[in-house]
Structure 1
Amino acid sequence: MTGWGAHLADQTASGLWDLSLAPQHINMLELEAVSLGLRAFLPLLGGSHVQVHTDNTTVAAYINRQGGTRSQKLSESACRLLVWCSSHNILLSAKYLKGTLNVLADALSRGDKVLHSEWTLSHQALDRLWVQVDKPCIDLFATRFSTRLPLFVSPFPDPLAWAVNALDLDWTNLQAYAFPPFCLLGKVVRKVDLEKPALVLVAPLWPSQHWYPDLLRLAVRPPIPLGVRRGDLLQPRSGVPHENPQALQLHGWILSESLCVVPGPRPQL
Structure 2
Amino acid sequence: MGQLFCLPRPTVDASLEGWEAVCRHLNINDSWSAGEKLLHINQLKLLAVFRVFKAFLCLLSGNVVQVVTDNMTTTYHINEQGSIHSQHLLLFAVEFWEWCMQHHIFPIVKMSLSLENVIADHLSRTSSTSHEWELHQDAFQMVLRRW
TM-score, with normalisation over the residues of structure 2?
0.78
- Mapped to 1, the partners of 2:124 and 2:28 lie a distance apart of 9
Report the equivalent of 2:26: 11
Specify whether residues 53 and 78 from structure 1 end up closer, same or farther in structure 2 by C-alpha distance, changes over 3 A only. Answer: same
Cα displacement (A) at 1:144: 4.9
Residue in structure 2 matching 1:88, options 103, 113, 116: 103
Secondary structure of 2:36's aligned partner:
coil
1:73 aligned onto 2:88: yes
Matches for 1:57-68 after TM superposition, within 5 Å:
57-68=72-83
Report the equivalent of 1:33: 48
Cα displacement (A) at 1:107: 2.3
- Mapped to 1, the partners of 2:87 and 2:114 lie a distance apart of 26
Identity percentage over the alignment?
A: 35
Matches for 1:33-52 after TM superposition, within 5 Å:
33-52=48-67
Matches for 1:179-198 after TM superposition, within 5 Å:
none
Amino acid at match of 1:62: H
Amino acid at match of 2:61: G
- Mapped to 2, the partners of 1:65 and 1:104 lie a distance apart of 26
- Mapped to 1, the partners of 2:138 and 2:89 lie a distance apart of 34
Report the equivalent of 1:251: none
Ranges in structure 2 where 5+ consecutive residues have no aligned partner: 1-15, 129-136
Cα displacement (A) at 1:61: 0.5
Higher relative contact order (CA 8 A, sep 6+): 2
Ranges in structure 1 where 5+ consecutive residues have no aligned partner: 114-142, 155-160, 166-269
Count, aligned residues: 124
Report the equivalent of 2:37: 22
Amino acid at match of 1:107: H
Secondary structure of 2:119's aligned partner:
helix
1:109 aligned onto 2:124: yes
Cα displacement (A) at 1:93: 1.1
Aligned-residue RMSD, C-alpha: 1.9
Secondary structure of 2:19's aligned partner:
strand
TM-score, with normalisation over the residues of structure 1?
0.44
- Mapped to 2, the partners of 1:112 and 1:27 lie a distance apart of 20
Deviations 1:220-239 (A, max 9, x none): xxxxxxxxxxxxxxxxxxxx
Cα displacement (A) at 1:111: 2.1
Secondary structure of 1:99's aligned partner:
coil
- Mapped to 1, the partners of 2:63 and 2:106 lie a distance apart of 6
Larger Rg: 1
Cα displacement (A) at 1:50: 0.5
Cα displacement (A) at 1:69: 1.4
Amino acid at match of 2:51: L
Moved over 3 A (4+): none
- Mapped to 2, the partners of 1:79 and 1:98 lie a distance apart of 26
Matches for 1:1-269 after TM superposition, within 5 Å:
1-112=16-127, 144-145=138-139, 152=142, 154=143, 161-162=144-145, 165=147
Report the equivalent of 1:267: none
Cα displacement (A) at 1:106: 1.4
Q: Is the 8 A contact 2:20 2:27 kept in 1?
A: yes
Q: Is the 8 A contact 2:63 2:106 kept in 1?
A: yes
